[in-house]
């Protein structure tokens, strides 16, 4: 048995491991046409058998899309680990006659370790909580009302701001750039500069005479104004920092009346559930845009627009990018959201933070505000009282470095050469969550290029800011010692020790002289890769990019790569997509968290109308939604397939640029945006499925009034959903989880939590799972085994992330009522009965949170603290309750057929009582959230979810809900 000595075993383990790595590397993305195809199974053995013996086998080496090795190589790594464990046991108790016994013991111990860890530890996608350090500070504003009415109309009264959509928005953009219809009015351009991608869903604000041309009577104008304002008069953040979207809603209602539409009766309120639902749908139908979607304010974060303003200033303040009128509206927005302590929050409901304050203060200075005005002096005092800008978070520091208001030595290294590592390397940027990846991609490029605003040294404003932002003189600051400094108020996710250690090593790598020749050689290759990757992202998204942060960073990078040529085609194409992110409301102009939530809101809205059994009562609405969903399915229409983005759908390009399959998915916003998301694809597919049950829709398809969405296109959507399911049974957002839980130990952001990998979420999992159920009901013979397996595996995931109190944490909205709706609906639609322990436990949780007035309420602190808000929606709701939270709770309870009818009835009556005479509901607190710590606005939620809850509750409980006590 000499060959089984510990040394021999270690050599065998090392040899097997190296052989596996080398062969897997050689077989990376081979065969390429199977990229992203995961074998079915729930563990290594079932995956292995599926890989070897079924048609669902995937890549044979490392799969860039899935972020994992194929089952064969994974098994070989496990065997290598068992051999290492065997050698350790052998070194303690070695004897020739017991060698095989030790081998068996090693295998059993290794398996037992995995089994125990699986049972006693939470899965990587379990959000955990409650947090030990909860938010205690509250935002405060001066009790002061403001208005933008005078800023919306030109001084001569001939032009007014309005929201333009679809081809109208393309025309407006092309006109502002001196271009013609051939340059992309319909999404197909003939030259290097122009608009590409589907116009449907695009929304932008333009100042012209079209709104002025709508003439109505004074009585009609007053009625419309009162409806749009929903009981509000101007903007006062001390009452509510959330806007009611008054300007957009007033425009849409005016257009509706001008087309001959009938206004809801405002002289009486609805008395029954069905009346309230119908009135709600009537009001909301007036807000539908001409291309079929519902638009709305998707703002909230305060750190987004400053990035755009910084970029605008760095690029020489081009008026095509931000014009004078926009500057005024942006400055107004920043000023009205300043809090009484002089600071700004990270978002509109956040207490002041250094992250928000530094960025907003500098933005106002770049927009031309005088530093000696009272509000600017208060802002400067807040910054200096907290230790100066050296105490802000890393993302703000990055912008200060670009502007020339901080030295690069004050920012931790973002090495672009990380992209040159092998794709299978345990920590590779390609494994990061796509939003994180696509932000740090241009950050790496700009850091590696040491980009600084070229006139920083001679610009008087930059010199003034260097004095205003710091407590010490700029020249005296030891920048390297400030790299890890961050104010407690910004430090939601403290950078772990292991990341600080890595950052200190990278600081040495950046500074040690003898490393520089090698570093410069590697860095050039890293910069070239980043430049190529950013160009691919720009083209794949028709220059919209995945989100507002990487949008402006990619723009600055393109400006640098074009040798500061503002007229370069790439820079011009970028600037034409800036309006996609801007929104005007009663608090001014803001930058949204995306280019809108069009497809997401519209998919929800049509399902809500369907559950009220009102699809055919509002046929115009239904047909417009159908057309919108048809045109919004990604890379599925003639226009979208004519764009360069379609060329990037090849498996080779998806592997090179770490993209999941896109064709057939639905987006959060628009087809032109180009990034499909699991839950958006699921809700879009469900929207189509409910419309396919409408006789009037089917008749319109037969008559050719609307285009058909064939079964093949629905199968494409199902393919997107099936390939997005993670190994834990859940669904992540844009891609499969490619990384590991320990990646969060390398989270450098400070202000955000759980951003490093694409976790499986309750929301994404319910939307995907229930979409598969809806599709399977209509088309039971397509990929039956795979769909049934996915549903069963998804149901198991839901149960694995349920909290001990019966709730589910909502990661993308506020918060537990939202999560509970997704959790219960996911379980019920996947086959669990209402009597199952998991569902009953969740119902008990929700019932325990019902408030005295019959409603439910939470605010942003539920998300931040990972604990149900103790006082509900105390600040901006109604005695702690809110209509959106109440609707989510009712959707969950009615889906579970909760037998506490009295509680459901109280909740329904609360929604009816809170409904306004016109059919609208009041705008209350912020509804959305992302990355645990930042709130975001969904003004559409106050309409969609109460309508949906009323429809579902009536369907389940009937007229008993209208009976008086």
Task: Tell me the catalytic residues.
Answer: 679
CB crowding 524-537: b at 16 or more within 10 Å, else e: eebbebbbebbebb
Match 């199974």 to its residue by tokens: 41
- Which residue, 80, 82, 62, is CA-closest to 71? 62
DSSP designation for 928: E
The torsion angles phi and psi of 472, rounded to 5 degrees, stand at -110, 165
SS3 806: coil
CB-count burial class (<10 Å; 0-12, 13-18, 19+) for 143: exposed
Task: List, in order, residues 6 or more apart from 582 with CB less than 8 Å away.
Answer: 204, 205, 326, 589, 590, 591, 592
Instruction: Identify the helix (H) or strand (E) that includes residue 254.
Output: helix 246-258
Peptide bond into 31 cis (omega under 30): yes
CA distances from 612 to 279, 387, 551 (A): 11, 56, 39
Cα maximum dimension of the chain: 101
Task: List, in order, residues 6 or more apart from 181 with CB less than 8 Å away.
Answer: 171, 174
Please say whether the beta carbons of 139 and 345 come within 8 A: yes
Strand pairing partners for 208? 160
Rounded Cα distance, 283 and 904, in Å: 24
Strand pairing partners for 146? 235
DSSP designation for 181: G
In this structure, the strands spanning 344-345 and 352-353 are antiparallel
**Distance, C-alpha 454 to centroid of its chain:** 33
Please say whether the beta carbons of 581 and 653 come within 8 A: no
Rounded Cα distance, 85 and 91, in Å: 10
SS3 288: strand
CA distances from 119 to 112, 360, 682, 741, 800 (A): 11, 47, 30, 16, 10
**Distance, C-alpha 39 to centroid of its chain:** 28
Tokens matching residue 955: 């369907």
Task: List, in order, residues 6 or more apart from 261 with CB less than 8 Å away.
Answer: 286
Tokens matching residue 827: 């379980």
Encode 292-358 in three state secondary structure.
CCECCCCCCECCHHHHHHHHHHHCCCCCCCCCHHHHHHHHHHHHHCCCCCCCEECECCCCEEHHHHH
CA distances from 537 to 558, 658, 755 (A): 12, 11, 20
Task: List, in order, residues 6 or more apart from 212 with CB less than 8 Å away.
Answer: 153, 157, 158, 159, 160
- Helical ranges in 449-594 per DSSP H: 460-468, 497-511, 516-540, 548-561, 569-575
The torsion angles phi and psi of 755, rounded to 5 degrees, stand at -110, -5
């Amino acid at each position: 048995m000499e060959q089984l000595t510990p040394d021999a075993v270690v050599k065998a383990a090392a040899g097997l491991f190296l052989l596996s790595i080398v062969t897997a590397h050689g077989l990376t993305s081979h065969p390429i046409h199977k990229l992203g195809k995961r074998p079915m199974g729930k563990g290594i053995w079932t995956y292995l058998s599926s890989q070897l013996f079924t048609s669902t086998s995937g890549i044979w080496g490392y799969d860039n899309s899935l972020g994992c090795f194929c089952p064969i190589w994974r098994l070989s790594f496990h065997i290598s680990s068992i051999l290492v464990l065997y050698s350790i046991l052998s070194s303690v108790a070695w004897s020739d006659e017991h060698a095989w016994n030790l081998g068996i013991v090693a295998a059993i111990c290794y398996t037992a370790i995995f089994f125990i860890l699986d049972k006693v530890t939470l899965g990587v996608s379990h959000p955990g909580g409650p947090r030990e350090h909860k938010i205690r500070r509250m935002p405060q504003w001066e009790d002061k009302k403001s208005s933008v009415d005078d800023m919306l109309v030109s001084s001569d009264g001939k032009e007014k701001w309005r929201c333009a959509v679809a081809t109208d928005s393309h025309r407006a953009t092309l006109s502002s750039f001196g271009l013609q219809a051939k340059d992309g009015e319909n999404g197909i351009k003939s030259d290097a500069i122009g608009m590409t991608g589907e116009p449907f869903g695009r929304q932008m604000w333009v100042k012209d005479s079209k709104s002025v041309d709508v003439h109505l009577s004074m009585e009609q104008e007053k009625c419309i104004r009162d409806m749009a304002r929903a009981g509000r008069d101007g903007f006062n953040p001390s009452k509510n920092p959330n806007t009611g979207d008054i300007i957009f809603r007033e425009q849409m209602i005016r257009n509706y009346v001008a087309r001959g539409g009938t206004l809801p009766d405002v002289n009486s309120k609805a008395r029954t559930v069905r009346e309230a639902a119908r009135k709600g749908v009537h009001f909301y139908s007036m807000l539908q845009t001409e291309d079929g979607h519902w638009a709305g304010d998707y703002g909230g974060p305060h750190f987004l627009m400053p990035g755009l303003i910084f970029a605008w200033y760095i690029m020489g303040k081009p008026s095509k990018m931000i014009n004078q009128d926009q500057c005024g509206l942006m400055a107004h927005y920043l000023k009205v959201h300043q809090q009484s302590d002089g600071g700004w929050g990270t978002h509109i409901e956040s207490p002041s933070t250094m992250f928000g304050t530094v960025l907003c203060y500098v933005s106002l200075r770049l927009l031309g505000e005088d530093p000696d005005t009272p509000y600017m002096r208060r802002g400067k005092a807040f910054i200096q009282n907290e230790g100066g800008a050296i105490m802000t978070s890393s993302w703000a520091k990055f912008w200060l470095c670009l502007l020339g208001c901080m030295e690069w030595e004050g920012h931790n290294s973002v090495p672009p050469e990380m992209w040159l590592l092998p794709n299978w390397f345990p920590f590779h940027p390609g494994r990061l969550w796509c939003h994180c990846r696509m932000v740090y991609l241009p950050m790496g490029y700009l850091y590696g290029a040491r980009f600084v605003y070229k006139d920083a040294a001679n610009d008087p404003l930059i010199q003034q800011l260097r004095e205003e932002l710091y407590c010490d003189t700029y020249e005296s600051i030891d920048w390297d010692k400030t790299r890890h400094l961050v104010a407690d108020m910004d430090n939601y996710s403290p950078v772990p020790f292991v990341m600080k250690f890595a950052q200190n090593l990278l600081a040495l790598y950046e500074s040690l002289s003898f490393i520089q020749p090698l570093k410069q050689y590697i860095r050039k290759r890293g910069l070239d890769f980043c430049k190529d990757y950013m160009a691919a992202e720009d083209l794949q998204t028709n220059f919209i990019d995945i989100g507002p942060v990487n949008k402006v960073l990619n723009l600055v990078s393109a400006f640098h790569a074009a040798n500061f040529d503002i007229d370069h085609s790439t820079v011009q194409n970028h600037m034409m997509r800036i309006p996609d992110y801007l929104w005007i409301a009663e608090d001014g102009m803001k930058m949204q968290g995306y280019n809108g939530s069009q497809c997401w809101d519209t998919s929800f809205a049509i399902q809500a109308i369907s559950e009220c059994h009102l699809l055919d009562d509002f046929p115009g609405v239904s047909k417009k939604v159908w057309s919108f969903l048809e045109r919004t399915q990604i890379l599925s229409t003639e226009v979208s397939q004519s764009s360069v983005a379609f060329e990037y759908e090849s498996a080779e390009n998806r592997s090179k640029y770490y993209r999941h399959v896109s064709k057939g998915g639905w987006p959060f916003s628009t087809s032109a945006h180009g990034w499909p998301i699991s839950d958006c694809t699921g809700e879009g597919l469900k929207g189509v499925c409910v419309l396919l049950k409408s006789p009037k829709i089917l008749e319109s398809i037969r008559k050719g009034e609307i285009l058909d969405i064939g079964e093949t296109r629905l199968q494409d959507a199902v393919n997107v959903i099936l390939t997005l399911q993670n190994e834990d049974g859940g669904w992540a957002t844009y891609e499969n989880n490619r990384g590991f839980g320990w990646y969060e130990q390398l989270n450098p952001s400070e202000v955000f939590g759980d951003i490093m990998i694409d976790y499986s979420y309750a929301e994404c999992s319910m939307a995907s799972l229930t979409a598969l159920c809806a599709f399977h009901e209509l088309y039971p013979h397509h990929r039956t085994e795979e769909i049934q397996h996915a549903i069963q595996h998804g149901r198991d995931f839901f149960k694995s992330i349920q909290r001990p109190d019966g709730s589910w944490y909502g990661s993308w909205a506020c918060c537990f009522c939202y999560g509970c709706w997704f959790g219960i609906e996911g379980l019920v639609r996947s086959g669990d009965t209402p009597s199952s322990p998991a569902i009953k436990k969740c119902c008990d949780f929700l019932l325990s949170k019902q408030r005295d007035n019959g409603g439910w309420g939470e605010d942003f602190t539920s998300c931040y603290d990972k604990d149900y808000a103790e006082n509900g929606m105390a600040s901006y709701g109604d005695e702690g309750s809110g209509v959106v939270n109440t609707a989510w709770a009712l959707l969950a309870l009615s889906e579970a057929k909760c037998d506490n009818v009295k509680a459901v009835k109280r909740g329904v009556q609360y929604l009816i009582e809170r409904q306004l005479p016109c059919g609208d509901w009041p705008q209350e607190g912020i509804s959305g959230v992302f990355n645990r710590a930042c709130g975001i606005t969904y003004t559409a939620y106050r309409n969609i979810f109460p309508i949906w809850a009323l429809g579902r509750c009536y369907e389940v409980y009937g007229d008993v809900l209208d009976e008086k006590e």
